[in-house]
Structure formats: C-alpha cells, structure tokens
C-alpha cells in the first residue's frame, strides 16, 4: 500500500489491484481517477533492462474507454479530432489528438473502431467522457456516450508475443501494429490489440468484465513464468528514449498538436471539419512558436520535472524540459523531452 497516497473510493481500484499489491507494488500514480502502479521491487533502471529483454504485465486499467455509439458516432469522433478518420477500418487503432476550439490539446487517445457506428477512445488523463457528452448534448447528436466495464491489461516486451501466442493461439501473431483482433478468455470474447505504451512490442487486452481480472492476471502470471515475466508499468527511461509523449507532461491544453510533432495527424487540407480547425490553420500558416525535441545532456542529476525545467542559453530561456531521466544505455547522460 502506498504510504503517500490516501485511498478512497474516489481514486478507483482496478480488477488487478489486489494482484498488483500481492506482487509488491511500491507506489501508485492516479490517472483518470484510477490507480496506476508506478514502481515494484526493482529500480526503474532494472525494470528498463528487463522490459527490453523479457515480458512484463502492466495494469493499465486507467486507460479508460469512452465508448461512442449510434448513428452520429463517426461524425462526433471526427468532429473531436483533426485526424481524418474517414478511411479507418474496423479493427484499426488510431492515435488521435483531441482539440478544443483554440486547438489546445484535450487528450491524445487511441481510437479503436469497433464498428461503423461504435468506437472506443482509450484515453490519457482527462475526462474525455465529459467532453464527448457535452458535445453530444449540445449539438443534439444521436449517440450514446458511456464508460464501459473495460480494463486494459498490457503485456509489453519482446517475449509478449510468444507468451500470448502460447496462451491464446497463434492467430494473434497475425495482428498488425495498431490493429486489434479477438481472443477467447474464460469463454468470453475479448479484444486484443498490438499496442502499448512502450517501444518494445507487445499487446493490450481490453478486458471486458471486472470479475475476470484476477483470474486473467493469475493465468498469464503462471504461463509467464517460463518467459521470466515480471510485474511492471510504463517505464520512464524507455518511454522518453522511445519518444512517447505523455498528456499532462509534454502537452496540456496550452499546447497545440503542431508544436509537439503531431502535424501528421492533422488534416489541414480542408477535407474534414473539426473543433479548433480555424485556430489550427492560423497556427499552421504562421508556424508554431515552439517545437518539441528529444535532447541528450550531461548533468550531475536530472530533475523530477514536477514543473518544467528551464533551459537557458546564457541568460535567456529558450525552452524547458518536461520529462527527463538518466539513461543507463548512454551512461552519465540524460534523455529528455523538451520544447
């Protein structure tokens, strides 16, 4: 149990939290009003090396799903994002920025197209559910917006595929990157995607049904023993080296997608209508004021970046580091994401 974080119903446990505690979790963060494990027995550096060689099981239930279904579902999703989703196929996962009317980022979820009229947004840390509900109510759209009883469980690392293939059948090997398929878990049909918040490969099982969580964890844990499985969580070293952005860290509602390298997900050819389009077109025409970069630097220590760490040339501030950590691969140097 975390000493520093008071527990209550308001900060929701997940179907896997009992198992995570039994596995020796040392701390949690809070994402979407839900617990996200942040450390187990090993150090971040030890976990980094393990993740790059073996397989880890991550409780990422906090990636809540916002389900949008109904006759106007596709129209609502398209309105929320500058990415043109008109060619998305059932079975696709798409990384989509979500904007407000100033082209500020509300969230950067993964969109899963379940049917022509049914989508999940697998969200980062903000209540997209309320944004979507507000838009739908305001515009009088024919949609149902709700949070289903779905709790993603990630298997990440180079051995994830072999483990899951052994457990659920070789068909999962045919699932392409950022695509999803279906597997049988305890007689239920469950969604599995080749995705996850690392660059080491792996899958996310979008488990539908809280009561199956404990048994599923146990089953994978047992089968994973011969793969050197370990409990884990998104690894700060690995995600910074991999250039994975974090909503709330590299971007907030003060950030537009063009300044953090998401221009490729912004349709500025006039093909689609979306919230914030005039503002984004204006920014595109003038060019963004700042640009995100990965940087490597030498320093005696790296800050936690609880507030952005100013970067100066002489006396003038030229940017800030939003996330940084010591890189064991580069030795004595730090990776960071900065703007």
Q: Which residues contact its own copies by CB under 8 A?
A: 1-11, 13, 26-30, 33, 38-39, 100-101, 106, 125-128, 130-141, 246-249, 275, 304-308, 322-323
Smallest separation (angstroms) from its own copies to the CB of 88: 22
Which DSSP string corresponds to 91-140? Answer: TBEEE--EE-TTS-EEE-PEEEEEETTEEEEE--SS-HHHHHHHHHHHHT
Closest to its own copies by CB, 159 vs 334, is: 334
The residue among 139 and 317 lying less far from its own copies, judged by its C-beta, is: 139
| Min separation Cβ 278 and its own copies, Å | 13
Q: Give the strand order in the sheet containing 144-146.
A: 93-95, 110-115, 118-122, 65-69, 144-146
Task: Kindly tell me which of 150 and 305 has the beta carbon lying closer to its own copies.
Answer: 305
- Of 103 and 192, nearer to its own copies (C-beta) is 103
Q: Pick between residue 43 and residue 304 the one whose CB is nearest to its own copies.
A: 304
The CB-of-13 to its own copies minimum distance in angstroms stands at 6
**At closest approach, how far in Å is the CB of 147 from its own copies?**
8
Token pair recorded at residue 325: 């950590």
Place of tokens 């049988």: 184
8 Å CB contact between 51 and 235:
yes
Min dist CB 130 to its own copies, Å, is 4
**CB under 8 Å to 145, separation ≥6 — which residues?**
66, 67, 68, 129, 132, 133, 136
244 φψ region: left (φ > 0), alpha (ψ -120 to 50), beta (else): beta
């Amino acid at each position: 149990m975390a000493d520093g974080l008071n527990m209550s119903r308001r900060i929701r446990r997940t179907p896997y939290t009992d198992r995570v505690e039994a596995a020796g979790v040392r701390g949690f963060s809070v994402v979407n009003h839900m617990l996200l494990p942040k450390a187990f027995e090993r150090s971040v550096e030890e976990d980094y090396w393990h993740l790059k060689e073996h397989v880890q099981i991550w409780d990422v239930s906090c990636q809540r799903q916002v389900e949008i279904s109904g006759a106007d579902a596709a129209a609502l999703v398209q309105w929320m994002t500058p990415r043109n989703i008109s060619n998305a196929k059932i079975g696709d996962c798409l990384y989509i920025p979500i904007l407000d009317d100033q082209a500020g980022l509300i969230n950067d979820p993964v969109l899963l197209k379940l049917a022509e009229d049914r989508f999940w947004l697998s969200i980062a840390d903000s209540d997209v559910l309320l944004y979507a509900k507000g838009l739908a109510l305001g515009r009088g759209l024919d949609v149902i917006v709700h949070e289903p009883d779905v709790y993603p469980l990630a298997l990440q690392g180079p051995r994830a595929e072999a483990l899951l293939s052994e457990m659920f059948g070789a068909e999962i090997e045919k699932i392409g990157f950022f695509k999803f398929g279906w597997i049988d878990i305890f007689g239920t049909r469950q969604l599995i995607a080749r995705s996850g918040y690392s660059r080491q490969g792996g899958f996310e099982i979008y488990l539908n049904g809280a009561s199956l969580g404990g048994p599923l964890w146990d089953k994978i844990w047992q089968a994973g023993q011969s793969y050197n499985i370990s409990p884990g969580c998104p690894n700060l070293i690995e995600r910074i080296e991999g250039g994975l952005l974090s909503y709330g860290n590299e971007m907030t509602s003060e950030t537009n997608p063009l300044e953090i390298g998401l221009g490729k997900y912004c349709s500025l050819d006039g093909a689609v209508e979306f919230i914030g389009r005039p503002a984004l077109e204006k920014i595109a025409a003038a060019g963004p004021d700042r640009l995100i970069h990965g940087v490597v630097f030498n320093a005696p220590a790296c800050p936690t970046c609880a507030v952005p760490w100013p970067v100066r040339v002489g006396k003038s501030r030229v940017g800030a580091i939003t996330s940084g950590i010591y890189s064991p691969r580069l030795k004595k140097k730090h990776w960071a994401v900065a703007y």
